[in-house]
């Protein structure tokens, strides 16, 4: 008699594996470039520098991603311990601490890749490109690596106005000009460093590839609104790396991989196939950065019928077509193609009457309770997991406010789980699972509340 | 003003203990009182429109009970305390709040404050992070927005003349604070670190002209008094994140040390450089607030267009003013302190230690959670440090 094997809780997308493999190739490419004497940059994820660096022939690797790779392979802890021994406070970003320890180890072995480095490692940088976008750690951390490397650090500015200020068209235009000038200064710095001129045609190519990848990611995410949710967040995170931290990978390869993924997800939608191999009892959103060291925790939740159909981090932007015919300057074209105003974002995401209501709220109160919640209602989420990170202020500071807003406005409850992106010791999976079990009653309750209020899910 | 007005250090202590007493009187007289967070929301522009700047602080002695529902505990305990106090209604008398991008948590706090407390007026200055030429132009543009916002609130135009006059009176305050710090160069210093915090916190709770008068009184009194700090074995420089309570200084000065100099934001940091009077006053203000003020929130390098990196030269450019402080105030050692979860200061700790090691100045790093209870174990560490440098 044959024994039936219960399928794994997650129903992984086949198209995911090829894209995930591209991440390995990104790191391999960095090592190869270094061995060939080509420049390699350590870069923070932001929307601007990668395409510029690639257009100038610089290979790019991403320490924040590399730290998550170390965590996923259980290799981050020794690097973090080394960071503390070097004097970096233990509350600092887990990504940063792992890379500080990694950098210290590089110095130990004469600037080479430490033999214990997972994934082939990152070669010694020619330069570091820090960022003012998203969090302060992203420039403070790279500056602090100066102890280990003689590579210059460029911090790329990125404006982030308050909500009311973002509504102003003057603010928007000033920020566009700021970005253009800042990126031109960055190019001048690179030209001086590399002894070569910027290839502006190549920037059109590398930048254009990024736009196409973003468009496909957006289209795939739109499909994820279906019931049952056809793609689990673990697949999203697995391929996100190839799309965003793609280094000098050929954009065409990444585009092709995403096209295949789009086709596979479309087929799942048509056939009603879910991203989990269990009945979809709860549609979930994951807010914050993932626990890279313990992603299997989500498989355990999938066993209970929790399908994470959407997430807050690394989401693609809505594709847009911008009339650039009046702009000749390639950098201005590059900036205007990507940088959008709050007014434009509102017009794209909300119905006209909602737009006016939100704008009036912002002008009157300085903010709107509806901002930041749209994915919860669009994906008809039953519950939200808020991952409060011990070492990340940028993603954690606002989570409790978000929890209040989601409940107040959408009647969707949240489960707060404390942990960390890199430090596995900060995360108690067993306790989180116990809380999750109890949380199901809360989700059931609010389902009834939403029904009584006539809400669509 | 109150009928019986005390003076000098006594008045400083009164204001330290009851900070809002004076501004509430002024508000009752019809003045607008504007709360501001950290040292970046350009006070001169408020003064130019006769708006009283009032700095928002936390309360180390008040347990955080309300802020938990808006901000997780793994964030700056000082800023959480500010929010907690705000949620408890203790800043309800303010006519508004001005914030800036001091750090990630500071910016998030701005959003939460606006959402939860619904102040009548709010403005956020999205300060750049670098000293790039583009960043300076951006900062000036942001100040133009800020000017318009304040003009809208006050219903008055902020003329260049009024702004220049405000810069002069704030520069006078900076000069007076520097004069006060001169009195700490003596051995023993004429004023303690704890008293300095009381004075600075007092002047950040009243209009600038009244603050200047208070500083004159304090300087005069301190010069004449015979009951100042006792001479101790060690003279210390304290660097770090915010200390808005005397408890830590009292702990250190209760040991065999005088705190003779600081680089903190309720201390010398906002006062040691003047604002240059420029043709367009906003140019001088933009430069001062972005470039002059040396807080860890800003990315500084030797020459940002230079493609060659020299770590020690970089450290010297960033931190040599600490050597100047140590030399001029004859400090034997440095206490680096930071409130827990302060990332911007935390990342600077290894570099500052490298720099101080390179000039042979001993240092110790203390991290605390902005509670009185955190000070006891720190006392042991400071004691150990004093034994080493003694």
Domains of chain A, by residue range, sit at 23-196
Q: What is the pLDDT of residue B2?
A: 45
Residue B367 domain flag: yes
Q: What is the pLDDT of residue B14?
A: 97
Is B299 within 8 Å of A155 when comparing Cβ atoms? yes
Q: What is the pLDDT of residue A6?
A: 84
State which residues form the domain around B272: 227-389
Among candidates A151, A152, A171 on the partner chain, residue whose Cβ is nearest the Cβ of B145 = A171
B interface mutation test: which of A154, A362, A397 has the most B CBs within 10 A?
Answer: A397
Cβ neighbours of A420 in B, within 8 Å: none
Is B347 within 8 Å of A365 when comparing Cβ atoms? no
Closest Cα partner for B314 from A347, A145, A435?
A: A145
Q: Is A363 on the interface with B (CB under 8 A)?
A: no
Shortest distance, CA B97 to any CA of chain A (angstroms): 11
Q: Is A400 on the interface with B (CB under 8 A)?
A: yes
Q: What is the pLDDT of residue A3?
A: 62
Residue B316 domain flag: yes
Residue B37 domain flag: no
* Residue of chain B whose Cα is closest to the Cα of A170: B145
Residues with pLDDT less than 50, chain A = none
Q: What is the pLDDT of residue A1?
A: 52
Cβ neighbours of A154 in B, within 8 Å: 304
Shortest distance, CA B388 to any CA of chain A (angstroms): 19
Is A132 within 8 Å of B129 when comparing Cβ atoms? yes
- In total, the C-beta contacts within 8 angstroms joining chain A to chain B are 198
Residue B243 domain flag: yes
Q: A294-323 burial, b for 16+ CB within 10 Å, e for fewer?
A: bbebbebbbeebbbbbbbbbbebeeeeeee
Q: What is the ipTM of this complex?
A: 0.94
pLDDT tens by residue, B26-51: 999 999 999 999 999 999 999 999 99
Residue B370 has pLDDT above 90, yes or no: yes
Check which CATH number belongs to the domain holding B369 and give it: 3.40.50.11900
Among candidates A87, A141, A388 on the partner chain, residue whose Cβ is nearest the Cβ of B74 = A388
Shortest distance, CA B365 to any CA of chain A (angstroms): 9
- Note which residues in 247-276 of chain A have CB less than 8 A from chain B: none
Q: How far apart are CA A69 and CA A73, in angstroms?
A: 6
Number of domains within chain B: 1
- Using the Cα atoms of residue B21, residue B25, residue B26 and residue B30 in order, give the sign of their dihedral: positive
Is B70 within 8 Å of A404 when comparing Cβ atoms? yes
Asked whether the beta carbons of A245 and A93 are under 8 A apart, the reply is no
Is B69 within 8 Å of A130 when comparing Cβ atoms? no
Cβ neighbours of B141 in A, within 8 Å: 174, 178
Shortest distance, CA B93 to any CA of chain A (angstroms): 18
pLDDT tens by residue, B129-167: 999 999 999 999 999 999 999 999 999 999 999 999 999
Q: What is the pLDDT of residue B4?
A: 65
Cβ neighbours of B114 in A, within 8 Å: 163, 365-367
Q: How far apart are CA A154 and CA A58, in angstroms?
A: 14
Is A393 within 8 Å of B70 when comparing Cβ atoms? no
Q: Which residues pair with B238 in a beta bridge?
A: B262, B335
Q: Is A390 on the interface with B (CB under 8 A)?
A: yes
Q: What angle do CA A230, A234, A237 make, to 5 degrees?
A: 110
* Residue of chain A whose Cα is closest to the Cα of B300: A143
Residue B281 has pLDDT above 50, yes or no: yes
Q: What is the pLDDT of residue B390?
A: 83
Q: What is the pLDDT of residue A2?
A: 57
Cβ neighbours of A128 in B, within 8 Å: none
Residue B245 has pLDDT above 80, yes or no: yes
Cβ neighbours of A372 in B, within 8 Å: none
Q: Is A322 on the interface with B (CB under 8 A)?
A: no
Q: What is the pLDDT of residue B203?
A: 98
| CA atoms lying within 13 Å on the CB side of residue A153 | 27
Cβ neighbours of A139 in B, within 8 Å: 129-130, 299
Cβ neighbours of A185 in B, within 8 Å: 132-134, 305
What is the average per-residue pLDDT within B213-224? 98
Cβ neighbours of B75 in A, within 8 Å: 393, 396-397
Residue B350 domain flag: yes
Cβ neighbours of A165 in B, within 8 Å: 123-124, 126, 145
Is B70 within 8 Å of A163 when comparing Cβ atoms? no
Among candidates A86, A182, A418 on the partner chain, residue whose Cβ is nearest the Cβ of B132 = A182
Is A400 within 8 Å of B72 when comparing Cβ atoms? yes
Residue-averaged pLDDT of chain B: 96
* Residue of chain A whose Cα is closest to the Cα of B98: A162
Q: Which residues pair with A306 in a beta bridge?
A: A282
Is B126 within 8 Å of A136 when comparing Cβ atoms? no
CATH of domain A23-196: 3.40.50.11890
């Amino acid at each position: 008699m044959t024994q039936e094997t219960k399928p794994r809780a997650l129903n992984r997308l086949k198209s995911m594996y090829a894209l995930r493999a591209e991440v390995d190739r990104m790191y391999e490419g960095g090592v190869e470039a270094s061995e060939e004497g080509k420049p390699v940059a350590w870069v923070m994820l932001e929307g601007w520098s990668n395409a510029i660096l690639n257009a100038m022939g610089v290979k790019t690797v991403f320490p924040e991603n590399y730290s998550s790779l170390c965590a996923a392979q259980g290799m981050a802890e020794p690097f973090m311990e080394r960071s503390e021994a070097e004097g970096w406070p233990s509350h600092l970003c887990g990504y940063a601490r792992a890379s500080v320890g990694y950098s210290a180890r590089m110095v130990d072995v004469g600037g080479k890749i430490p033999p214990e480095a997972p994934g082939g490692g990152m070669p010694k940088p020619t330069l570091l490109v820090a960022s003012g976008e998203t969090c302060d750690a992203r420039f403070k951390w790279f500056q602090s690596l100066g102890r280990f490397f003689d590579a210059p650090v460029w911090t790329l500015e990125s404006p982030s106005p308050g909500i009311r200020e973002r509504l102003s068209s003057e603010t928007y235009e000033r920020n566009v000009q700021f970005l253009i000038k800042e990126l031109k200064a960055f190019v001048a710095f690179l030209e001086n460093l590399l002894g070569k001129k910027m290839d502006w045609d190549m920037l059109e190519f590398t930048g254009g590839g990024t736009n196409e990848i973003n468009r496909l990611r957006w289209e795939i995410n739109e499909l994820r609104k279906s019931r049952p949710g056809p793609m689990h967040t673990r697949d999203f995170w697995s391929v996100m790396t190839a799309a965003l931290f793609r280094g000098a990978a050929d954009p065409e390869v990444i585009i092709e991989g995403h096209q295949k993924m789009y086709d596979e997800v479309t087929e799942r939608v048509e056939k009603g196939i879910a991203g989990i191999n269990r009945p979809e009892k709860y549609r979930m959103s994951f807010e914050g950065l993932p626990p890279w060291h313990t992603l299997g925790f989500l498989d355990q939740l999938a066993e209970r019928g929790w399908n994470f159909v959407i997430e807050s981090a690394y989401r693609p932007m809505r594709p847009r077509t911008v009339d650039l015919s009046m702009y000749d300057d390639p950098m201005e074209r590059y900036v205007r193609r990507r940088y959008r105003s709050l007014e434009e974002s509102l017009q794209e995401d909300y119905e006209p009457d909602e737009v006016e209501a939100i704008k009036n709220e912002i002008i009157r109160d300085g903010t709107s309770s509806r901002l930041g919640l749209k994915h919860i209602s669009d994906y008809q989420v039953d519950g939200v997991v808020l991952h409060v990170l011990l070492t990340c202020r940028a993603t954690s500071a606002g989570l409790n406010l978000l929890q209040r807003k989601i409940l107040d406005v959408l009647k969707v409850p949240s489960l707060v789980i404390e942990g960390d992106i890199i430090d596995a010791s900060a995360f108690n999976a067993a306790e989180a699972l116990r809380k999750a079990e109890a949380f199901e009653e809360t989700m059931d309750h609010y389902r009834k509340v939403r029904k009584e209020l006539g809400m669509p899910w | 003003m109150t009928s019986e007005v005390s003076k000098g250090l006594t008045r400083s202590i009164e204001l330290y203990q009851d900070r809002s007493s004076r501004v509430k009187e002024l508000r009752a007289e019809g003045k607008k009182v504007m709360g501001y967070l950290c040292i970046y929301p350009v006070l001169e522009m408020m003064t130019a429109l006769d708006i009283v700047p009032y700095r928002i602080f936390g309360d180390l002695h008040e347990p955080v009970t309300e802020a938990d529902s808006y901000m997780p505990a793994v964030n700056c305990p000082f800023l959480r305390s500010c929010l907690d106090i705000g949620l408890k209604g203790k800043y309800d008398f303010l006519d508004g709040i001005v914030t800036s991008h001091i750090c990630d948590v500071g910016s998030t706090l701005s959003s939460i404050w606006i959402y939860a407390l619904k102040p009548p007026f709010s403005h956020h200055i999205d300060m750049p992070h670098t000293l790039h030429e583009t960043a300076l132009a951006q900062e000036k543009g942001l100040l133009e927005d800020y000017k318009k916002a304040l003009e809208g609130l006050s219903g008055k135009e902020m003329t260049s003349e009024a702004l220049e006059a405000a810069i002069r009176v704030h520069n006078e305050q900076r000069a007076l604070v520097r004069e006060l710090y001169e009195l700490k160069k003596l051995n023993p210093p004429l004023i303690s670190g704890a008293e300095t915090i009381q004075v600075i916190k007092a002047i950040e709770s009243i209009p600038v002209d009244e603050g200047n008068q208070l500083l004159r009184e304090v300087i005069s009194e301190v010069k004449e008094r015979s009951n100042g700090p006792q001479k101790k074995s060690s003279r210390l420089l304290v660097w770090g994140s915010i200390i808005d309570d005397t408890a830590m200084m009292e702990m250190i000065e209760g040991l065999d040390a005088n705190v003779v100099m600081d680089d903190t934001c309720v201390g010398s940091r906002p006062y040691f450089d003047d604002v240059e009077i420029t043709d367009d006053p906003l140019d001088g203000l933009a430069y001062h607030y972005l470039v002059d003020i040396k807080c860890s929130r800003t990315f500084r390098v030797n020459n940002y267009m230079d493609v060659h990196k020299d770590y020690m030269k970089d450290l010297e450019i960033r931190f040599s003013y600490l050597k100047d402080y140590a030399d001029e105030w004859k400090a034997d050692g440095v206490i680096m302190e930071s409130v827990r979860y302060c990332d911007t200061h935390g990342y600077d700790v290894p570099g500052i230690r490298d720099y101080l090691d390179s000039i042979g100045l001993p240092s110790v790093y203390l991290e605390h959670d902005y509670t009185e209870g955190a000070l006891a174990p720190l006392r042991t560490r400071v004691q150990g440090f004093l034994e080493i440098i003694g």
